[in-house]
Amino acid sequence: MYALVDGNNFFVSCERVFRPDLAQHPTIVLSNNDGCAIARSPEAKALGIAMGQPVYQVKDILQQHNVAVFSANFILYGDLSARIVHTLRSFSPHVHVYSIDESFLDLSGYDGDRTVYGQAMRQKILKWVGVPTCVGIAPTKTLAKAANHLAKRYPHTQGVLDLSDPTRRQKALALMDVDDVWGIGRKLSFSLKLEGIKTALDLANANPTHMRKRYSVMMERTIRELAGQDCFSMESAPGSRKTVICSRSFGEPVTSAAQLRQALSFFVHRAGRKLREDGLLAGCITVYARTSQFAKEPFYGESYTLNLPEATDDTAAFLQAVEAGLQHIFRPNTNFKKAGICLFDLTERQHTQSSLFSTARNLSERINLMGCLDRLNRRYGDNTLFYGSTGTQKDRNVWMPKSTLRSAAYTTNWSDIRKVI
């Protein structure tokens, strides 16, 4: 039995923790460079502000209704997410963090009233962290996602829905569009609807063997999961990580090779850390840069892909690849507006074979060095220790995305802690 705990309008809810005056007030959070709405409160949704909608298209609405607007503050959101996960571990020793606002819990050892247990989770998170959540409970992860989705949609559930009962499960799935099933995207749902499969219940009743032949093994597993057969382990999930991507749109156009090198090096620094956190190694890297698609001058975009000698999580190896890529993608007198890196051909560290020319000592030294780097940055703050090619904070401010409306780092910066007078 699984529980999926999901933060409601998570980014907005994180902002409201330290701005209780915004409760019931229309609020949105913006993407990099303050371009588009990536999180909306229910009040903002009611005003017609769509997910991903550019801010310039809704300026009149924002002014007319005095909508509270924030730049994305991922440091704050990440810290509150970690606090939620810490709280959840008091309910189950087995917690799998699926995303910044979603976590699965293994409830197989709990034999009490699971709805009451789910309410206890919500209340404890709200009290300890301040973020409202919903809980979906079911015998499979796909059904738990469905239960969570329906718990958000229907207020009478009071934020918790248990679909362990087959009869209740059928009634619930009949209310859910096939588009909303975990792992079913728009293209798949379009094809499914042409076959008459319009609801989650229709998909659950489909022939899994036949659907595997028509689509994929993932489709078969999804159908079996909707029928109550557990096909995904605690750690597995549809669409498991295949790449690590770090990219940004620049606050101001970048024209020099030095600035572009700093940006790409900074992205590698961040992506390498994420790779090590997940216990993964990358065998290939792509670096790219492009100009604005909306600028008057002709569009320019270029990428460079390099196969690494051996799979690694070593930031230094990625930086060498960036240097090689920079020689290929940089063009003088060009206003670069966006750049990024992508690490792929990912493998788990314990299942990777070393190169013939690697020595155990060299590999061990690099692993220890990267581990030391990550521990120091976790203990003393992000970017306490970094490679010189990433530039100083003053250097980065030239090309960093605009975040003029970002809230304070209330929980991770001593100078930003709330003061009570």
Q: Of 123, 118, 165, whose CA–CA distance to 3 is shortest?
A: 118
Q: How many CA atoms lie within 13 A of 366 on its CB side?
A: 15
Residue 371, classed as helix, strand or coil, is helix
Query: What are the strands of the beta sheet with 68-71, ordered from one edge?
Result: 37-40, 27-30, 68-71
Would the CA dihedral through 42, 44, 46, 48 be positive or negative? negative
Q: At how many degrees (to 10) do helices 315-329 and 360-380 cross? A: 90
Cα–Cα nearest to 282, from 375, 347, 187, 199: 347
Residues in the chain: 421
- CB-neighbour burial class of residue 178 (10 A; exposed 0-12, middle 13-18, buried 19+): buried
Point out which residues pair with 95 in neighbouring strands.
105
* Alpha carbons 154 and 46: distance in angstroms, whole number: 16
Cα distance between residue 100 and residue 39, in whole Å = 13
Return phi, psi of residue 270, to 5°.
Answer: -70, -45
Work out whether strand 95-99 and strand 102-106 pair parallel, antiparallel, or are unpaired.
antiparallel
CATH 3.40.1170.60 intervals, the chain: 5-75
CATH 3.30.70.270 domain residues, the chain: 77-226
State the pTM of this model.
Answer: 0.79
Q: Which of 256, 258, 396, 390 is nearest to 331 (CA)?
A: 256
Domain 5-75 has CATH 3.40.1170.60: yes
CB atoms within 10 A of CB 381: 14
Q: Which CATH class is domain 77-226?
A: alpha beta
From 3.40.190.10, 3.40.50.1010, 3.40.50.2300, 3.30.1490.100, which CATH number describes the 244-396 domain?
Answer: 3.30.1490.100
183: helix, coil or strand? coil
∠ Cα 6 10 12 (to 5°): 160
Q: Note down pLDDT in tens along the chain; length 421 residues.
A: 999 999 999 999 999 999 999 999 999 999 878 889 999 999 999 999 999 999 999 999 999 999 999 999 988 999 999 999 999 999 999 999 999 999 999 998 888 999 999 999 999 999 999 999 999 999 999 999 999 999 999 999 999 999 999 999 999 999 999 999 998 988 888 999 999 999 999 999 999 999 999 998 999 999 999 999 998 876 655 555 678 999 888 888 999 999 999 999 999 999 999 999 888 899 999 999 999 888 888 999 999 999 998 889 999 999 999 999 999 999 999 999 999 999 988 888 766 565 655 555 567 788 889 999 999 988 887 778 888 888 887 777 777 777 788 999 899 888 898 888 8
The segment(s) of the chain belonging to CATH 3.30.1490.100 are: 244-396
DSSP-derived letter for residue 133 is E
Contact 232, 140 (CB under 8 A): yes
